[in-house]
Amino acid sequence: MSYLILVRHGQSIWNLEKKFTGWVDVELTENGKLEAKKAGELIKIKNINIDIYYTSFQLRAKNTLKLIQETLQDKKVSKKAWQLNERHYGALTGLNKDEMKVKLGEEKVHQFRRSWDLRPDPLDKKSPYHPINIDAYKEIPINKIPDTESLKDTYERVLEYYKQEIENEISNNNILISAHGNSIRALCKYLFKLNENQISKLEIPTGNPLVINLDEKKRITNCKYLDSERSKDLVVF
């Protein structure tokens, strides 16, 4: 039996400010740091030894993982992949979600956030929020950097990386992935065989480890959030 642990980063500054964040590199709030430390403590209590760590290129996911590893007193070097980045919200990036509900209507904003294949308008390449203008992404091939994405787009890039780099490691290793709401939703769609309606309803709490047990054939035998007070409906369990 192996463990796959999925952790959405702790609360970020733009989570708190209710902004569409996407690929903008923002830090954790103090509460987000506490969430990350608690995630580490909960994993430590379960006495799960992590063999391989993965994270995105984004500061909030990397620092969540750093705090988890510090809590576990584990100095293994993590593997960083831009493919695990959050969904790119295009022209919505940096805008306040509540203000957009007033401007566009609650239903339209819900569609942008939860629909399967609807993309917001592209973000202007001159914007300081565009990934081509953010130092953290300088090593990503420019033809791979999006101007906007749907959840379907995010799913495709996350799954390509997962199948190529992570899936084959699961049989013999316990793996932890520190990533983002939509990149983890993408993984859950694949792992739990969710349809487009189910994935639209899936919420991923910040800083709460989702522990998935897999047998030797990589079939899920059990899963649960370690912080039961902040767990969300897994749709399938």
List phi, psi (to 5°) of 27.
-90, 170
Cβ atoms of 88 and 137 within 8 Å: the answer is no
Separation CA 72–CA 44 (nearest Å): 6
CA pair distance 52, 170, nearest whole angstrom = 9
Q: Of these residues, 27, 30, 35, 86, which one is catalytic?
A: 86
Cβ-Cβ contacts under 8 Å for 206 (sequence gap 6 or more): 8, 9, 10, 11, 15, 32, 35
Single-letter amino acid, residue 57: F
110 is catalytic: no
**DSSP string over 30-74:** HHHHHHHHHHHHHHHHHTPPP-EEEE-SSHHHHHHHHHHHHHHT-
Nearest CA-CA partner of 73 in 45, 51, 40, 32 = 40
Tokens of 21: 């964040």
- In the three-class reduction of DSSP (H, G, I as helix; E, B as strand; rest coil), residue 18 is classed as coil
| Amino acid identity, position 76 | K
Max Cα–Cα distance, the chain, nearest Å: 51
Instruction: Establish whether 160 is a catalytic residue.
Output: no
Active site residues per annotation: 9, 86
